[in-house]
Structure 1
Amino acid sequence: MPRSRSQQISIEDTPYYHCVSRCVRRAFLCGQDPISGESFEHRRGWVENRLLFLAGVFAIDICAYAVMSNHLHVVLHINQRKAADWTRLEVLQKWHQLHKGTLFTQQYVRGEQQADFALALVEASAETYRARLMDISWFMKELNEPIARQANFEDKCTGRFWEGRFKSQALLDEAALVACMAYVDLNPLRAKMSKTPEDSDFTSLKKRVYFAQQEKQPKALFPFIGNPRLNMPEGLPFQLPDYLELVDMTGRIIREDKRGVIDASLLPILQRLNISSDNWLCIATQFGSRTGHLVGKEHAIAHYCESHHRRRKPRMQSAKLLG
């Protein structure tokens, strides 16, 4: 029996989540239908543009994404601090980029004088919107619904375009986070949609590589800010060059169809996270099939289950791959 979304997402345990949405009725998100020969490649732009737009509206950061032929992957970071720092006006302005709001919230944004009862309603609405703007379920809804409407209009049909529920996985520690990000960035390579990771269109990795060549990081993506330290700014706890090297070397092994050993001495991230080379190759290529809705090292999963009073520890064999 599926667990409710509120039971799967716990900011107290981790702000990082891997979400997957899949199409139904043999629908194509993008790519080419092998039966009809019709191309849906242009829909990749729909998804990427919407995803990056939402990153500027929600208090949810995008760590990684990949748009595939009939599904999409995204690794998200819930940014509570960002949402808490927004003023009431900022919250309403952001929400109005998605929906009209109420008559009173519209008046407030325009700076019109309002009675006390109206201000009280505006304040209540703003707090409701603030909570929604750091809610992954709302984020995925605002991502998927417009795409479904566009695709249905183009296909001249009605009904579901996406499966009813998106899949979400809690990434409980840094090892789970970097493994999941690499898995997402390497999705097009494993599917033979591209020959190299940096050539994978409509992925976070290609965007990061493009900006890295200009010695920048894309503003729409959660930045790499280096290894954990005191007074650490918000961002991914890894060095960008280390991560790019990790993905590149893993991609070379996948592309050459070899099971060879990665030289851990060349991969600082694996050394710091104490992940063996053999385990890394397995988890980076089989993350989706070898993990459940909780991903992390064994002690992280055990702590999560204990704090949530869960007797059954899900898929502990996946934890051992990270250790």
Structure 2
Amino acid sequence: SNHTHLVLHIHKALSDSWDTEEVIHRWHRLHKGTLLSHQFLNPVQRQHIPEFQMATLAETVEVWRQRLSDISWFMRSLNEYIAREANREDECTGRFWEGRFKSQALLDEAALAACMAYVDLNPIRAGIAKTPEQSDHTSIQYRINAARTGKTPRYLTPFVGSYNDDRPHGLPFHLADYLALVDITGRAIVPDKKGAIDGSVPAMLQRINITPMQWQELTTQFEDCFHHAAGSESYLEAYRHRHKLKRLRDKNSAIRLFG
């Protein structure tokens, strides 16, 4: 009840395409902005802003653009809002969250699927829900309710089956396959007991080349298995070189769980 699990995708190309006005509008939805940014949004006042102030505003907007696609700033805004609301309800002050958030980079489809299922099944592992559709405040419940009426949740990334030119941004799985896999996994998760997935391997596991035993460990111990990044060994090595890291402590987990 005092922490959240989130799976996020940074669509940097989209944020880079926003014009100055779009960035300011989005920033104002979260923060007060500056006197200059509010003047810019007023068509009449904008005409009287001198050139040197427009240059200052342009620099500020670029900072805001970067922050609007930064996970740390996202978590800062989210956590501050929740903490203020919780303290207001409890009529108290002080820290609400136990500590700073931690994150792992999801490097391939298998890691993405495992982390999503781990997050969606969190209430079942904790023993506060018996099925995915009964798991309040989860994406899986939101998707199931929307699917029943033939809709796609507006504020969640859609399932596109596979990447293509028409739909380059989306979850590279079929919704039906994912829901079936989470349902099977949820039935095998019993608090304080070690369950097992049925012997017939679900189609989605076959596609991402993970055995039921590996999947079971990933969806119950994902946070314990990975700390910086999750994915196959080749993706981890590429991640290590890109970030100029000497070593990654999660390499053995990647080899054992992703092959």
Out of 153-162 and 187-196, give the one that drifted further. Answer: 153-162
Distance 1:119 1:202 in 2: 43
Alignment-mate amino acid for residue 285 of structure 1: T
Classify 1:264/1:231 alpha carbon distance in 2 versus 1 (closer, same or farther; 3 Å): farther
Pair 1:149-2:81 in alignment? no
CA distance in 2, matches of 1:146, 1:258: 37
Check conservation: 2:184, 2:197, Cα contact below 8 A. Answer: no
After TM superposition, the structure 1 = structure 2 runs for residues 8-27 of structure 1, keeping only pairs within 5 Å, are none
Q: Which amino acid aligns with 1:146?
A: Y
- SS in structure 1 at match of 2:105: strand
Any idea what the Cα deviations from partners look like across 1:98-127, whole Å, max 9, x if unmatched?
112111110111122121112112211211
Q: Between Structure 1 and Structure 2, which shows a larger proportion of helix residues?
A: 2
In 2, distance between residues paired with 1:250 and 1:302?
A: 30
The TM-score, its normalising length taken from structure 1, stands at: 0.74
Give the drift of 1:162.
1.4
- Structure 1 distance, partners of 2:92, 2:253, is 41
Decide whether the 8 Å contact of 1:171 with 1:177 is kept in 2: yes
* 3-state SS, counterpart of residue 9 of structure 2: strand
> Match for residue 168 of structure 1?
103
Q: What SS class does the counterpart of residue 77 from structure 1 fall into? A: coil
C-alpha distance in 1 between matches for 2:91 and 2:211: 50
Report the Cα offset of residue 233 of structure 1.
2.7
Per the alignment, residue 196 of structure 2 pairs with: 260
**Deviation sequence 1:290-311 (CA, Å, 0-9, x none):** 2222111112112211333322
Q: Give unmatched runs, 5+ long, in structure 2.
A: none
Equivalent residue for 1:190?
125
**Which structure exhibits the higher relative contact order, with contacts defined as CA atoms closer than 8 Å and separated by 6 or more residues?**
1
5+ residue gaps, structure 1, are 1-68
CA distance, structure 2, for counterparts of residue 125 and residue 309 of structure 1: 30
The answer on whether the counterparts of 1:294 and 1:314 sit within 8 Å (CA) in structure 2 is no
Is contact 1:104–1:121 with CA below 8 Å preserved after alignment?
no
* Distance change in 2, residues 1:103/1:198 (3 Å): same
**Is the partner of 1:75 in helix, strand or coil?**
coil
Query: Structure 2 counterpart of 1:210, which letter?
Result: N
Shift of 1:199: 0.9
Residue identity opposite 1:206 in structure 2: Q
Q: 1:61-98: CA deviations, max 9, x gaps? A: xxxxxxxx221111110111220121211110111111
- The residue aligned with 1:51 is none
- Deviation string 1:256-308 (CA, Å, 9 cap, x unpaired) is 9563343454x222111111111111111111222222111112112211333
1:82 aligns with 2:14: yes
- Larger Rg over CA atoms: 2
CA RMSD between the two structures: 1.7
Q: CA deviation at 1:130?
A: 0.7
Which residue in the other structure is 2:211 paired with? 276
* Cross-structure match for 2:141: 206
> Of the candidates 31, 51, 56, which is equivalent to residue 116 of structure 1?
51
Q: Deviations over 1:29-52 (max 9, x none)?
A: xxxxxxxxxxxxxxxxxxxxxxxx
Aligned residue pairs, count: 254
Partners in 1 of 2:248 and 2:198 — Cα distance? 30
Structure 1 residues 264 and 309, CA gap change in structure 2 (3 angstroms): farther
Q: Tell me whether 1:138 sits opposite 2:70 in the alignment.
A: no
Shift of residue 244, structure 1, vs aligned partner? 0.6
**Per-residue CA distance 1:168-215 (angstroms, 9 max, x = gap):** 111111111100000000000111111101110111110000111111
The 1-side partners of 2:248 and 2:32 are apart by 44
Secondary structure in 2 aligned to 1:209? helix
Secondary structure, in 3 states, of the residue corresponding to 1:201?
Answer: coil
Whether 1:96 aligns to 2:32 is no
Looking at structure 2, the residues matched to 185 and 299 of structure 1 have their Cα atoms a distance apart, in angstroms, of: 27
Q: Determine if contact 1:264/1:276 at 8 Å carries over to the other structure.
A: no
Q: Return the letter of the residue paired with 2:33.
A: G
User: 2:246 aligned with 1:314, yes or no?
Assistant: no
